[in-house]
Amino acid sequence: MTDPGGKPRRARVRSGWLLPVLLVQALGLQILYAPVAWPGVPTGTEASGPATALPAPVARTAQALRIPQSALGLWVQAVDERTPRVVFNGDQPMNPASVLKLVTTFAALEGLGPTYSWETAIYLDQPLGADGVAHDVWIRGGGDPYLVVEEYWKLLAGLRERGLRRIDGDLVFDLSRFNLPVEDRAAFDGQPDRIYNVLPHALLVNFNAAQFRVEARRDGTVGVTVDPPLPNLAIVNHLRSAAGPCGGYQLGVGLAVQDAALRDRAVLEGAFPTACREFEITRSVLQPETYAWGLFSAMWGQQGGELRGKWRYGAVPPGAKPLYVHQSRPLGDLIRLVNKFSNNVMTRHFEYALAVERLGAPATPDKGHQAILEVLGSRGIDTTGLVIANSAGLARETRISPRQLGAVLDAAWRSPWMPEYMASLSLAGLDGTMRARFRAAPATGRMHLKTGRLDNVSAVAGYVNAASGRRMMIVLLINAPNAHQGPGIELQDAFLKWVYSNY
């Protein structure tokens, strides 16, 4: 399978920085393969409710694919009705994979509102003089989920506009907004360098991502450039050119980020085919603090500023007033990046913002889970048995029933923020994780969906504008061996086609 962290380039066409990072982060969860613990075998029937049998086309497809009906959970309801049309294993707790983002983003919209934004504040310990020289500069991380290169540049430009010219001391990071346990970024699947495994951080800059561009040069060598350039990241290029067609896993390029503690040395090895022109691969590098310092140092110099110190931790001095406050893009914009492209770390930052606003700083995982459950409960959603091990769905322990997920879709439809929620979902055949499915078909653009995939888990949920014009809310969860491979997609498509054609 093609590695989501890189893509072959046959022409010298740059795609830009943001889109590759977002797609890498997005596609990461969609192709992860990790073991999942199976719940008890469900009965296949409901204690009460409407139709409790699988729709015939779905049942036939499941049988052909050797997916047992006990491994399926299904829920279908019209948006203008209060009773579902079809429920199958509706109360069985199942792993939803990335579809859990529907729950987290709904709770964030309801609890924070679409105009909510994050603040990254800059402080000095003394008023800035006419010479523009400061000693130490404090950066208080606000948990901005999208402090990418362009936004970081704006932050630095804001400091320049307020007269800061030279920093004789250090950058001091105040990270007190988050109080999170130490996590192993390799714990989930042994891939610590992948963007989908980046961990939440109060000052997460550009997802800790670096895009490596490999280029075949005219002199027969293979060049490597990095975007953004980071002065504290060492690049070791052992790539060589090799005759042959342009193909193979990562086009023969191997990349390892060395030193588990510092992560400040990237080594590229392998044979790059001469028939290829360019190849881009994105990986997580450095630690959040060293990344933030390194990019600040590079950009500050580009803007004509001087930075003479290093970095350290420290609380903002009592009574200090901010020199500058950078505002993030609003939640209503950022939610689209999460649901369309399945961005994991941004989802968790939504959760922690909700935790701080409802339960006070610092944000903790327990506060985050509690805040989500509180919002769901306030909207009439039964959360009994719902397990949020990871609010982005990147966990084997997460459990939610099809009926609970359907209740979230129903509440979102009746919410004042329904337009923002709907617009955040992938459009079948057009964009996001559904862009390659239902192309040039009657259903193109008529399904707003969120997909999810882990090892042995495949899921889809959202809204289908059926051929009749009736809008349907749908959930399909599959927890079965090899569901993450072709059979899961085939069964999803059979289900979606049935809903589109029959309602």
Q: Which residues of the chain have pLDDT under 70?
A: 1-49
124/212 same-domain check: yes
Number of domains in the chain: 2
Clarify whether residues 285 and 312 are in a common domain: yes
Residues, the chain: 503
Q: Is 377 inside any structural domain?
A: yes
Examine residue 448 and state whether it is found in any structural domain, yes or no. Answer: yes
**Contact present, 481 and 38 (Cβ < 8 Å):** no
* C-beta separation of 32 from 454 below 8 A: yes
**Structure tokens of 274?**
């001469």
Give a yes or no: residue 44 inside a domain.
no
> In this structure, are 60 and 121 located in the same domain?
no
Contact by Cβ (8 Å): 352, 178? yes
Q: Is residue 379 located within the same domain as residue 397? A: yes
Using the 3D structure, point to which of 329, 357, 387 is the last residue of a domain. 329
Rounded CA gap, 467 and 411, in Å?
24
Tell me which residue range forms the domain holding 403: 32-38+50-115+331-502
Burial 246-284 (b: 16+ CB within 10 A, else e): beeebbbbebebeeeeebbebebebbbbeebebbbbbbb
C-alpha distances in Å from residue 284, one per residue of 34, 198, 208, 243: 20, 7, 5, 30
CA distances from 195 to 252, 344, 414 (A): 20, 9, 34
Same-domain status, 226 and 172: yes
Last residue of a domain, one of 273, 307, 329: 329
Q: Are residues 324 and 355 in the same domain?
A: no
- Asked if residue 243 belongs to a domain, the reply is yes
Return all residues near 27 (Cβ < 8 A) that are at least 6 apart.
4, 196, 341, 342, 433
Determine phi and psi for 424, rounding to 5 degrees: -80, -15
Task: Return the closest-CA partner of residue 438 out of 368, 366, 365, 489.
Answer: 489
Asked if residue 237 and residue 358 are part of one domain, the reply reads no
Domain co-membership, 91 together with 134: no
CATH number, position 308: 3.50.80.20
Other CB atoms within 10 A of residue 232 CB: 16
| Domain assignment of residue 45, yes or no | no
Which residue spans within 141-261 are E strands per DSSP?
Answer: 166-167, 171-174, 209-216, 222-227, 234-242, 253-258
Please state, in angstroms and rounded to a whole number, the distance separating the CA atoms of residues 33 and 29: 9
**Cα gap 330→334, rounded to integer Å:** 6
How far is it, in rounded angstroms, from Cα 375 to Cα 381? 9
In terms of domains, do 276 and 370 share one?
no
Domain annotation covers residue 254:
yes
Task: Tell which of 310, 329, 348 closes a domain.
Answer: 329
In a domain, 43, yes or no: no
Pair 222, 88 in one domain: no
Cβ neighbourhood burial of 360 (10 Å; 0-12, 13-18, 19+): exposed
271 and 361 in a single domain? The answer is no
Position 318 scores a pLDDT of: 93
The per-residue pLDDT for range 56-101, each reduced to its tens digit, is 999 999 999 999 999 999 999 999 999 999 999 999 999 999 999 9
Task: List the structure tokens of 63.
Answer: 């049988």
Instruction: Answer yes or no: do 322 and 411 share one domain.
Output: no
Rounded distance, CA 369 to CA 128, Å?
42
Judge whether 231 and 379 are in contact, CB under 8 Å: no
Q: Is residue 206 part of a domain?
A: yes
Nearest to 198 by CA among 337, 348, 327, 340: 348
* Sign of the dihedral defined by the CA atoms of residues 454, 455, 460, 461, in that order: negative
- CA distances to 51, 239, 427, 465 from 470, rounded to whole Å, are 19, 56, 17, 6
- CATH code: domain of residue 67: 3.40.710.10
The distance from CA 467 to its chain's CA centroid, rounded to whole angstroms, is: 32
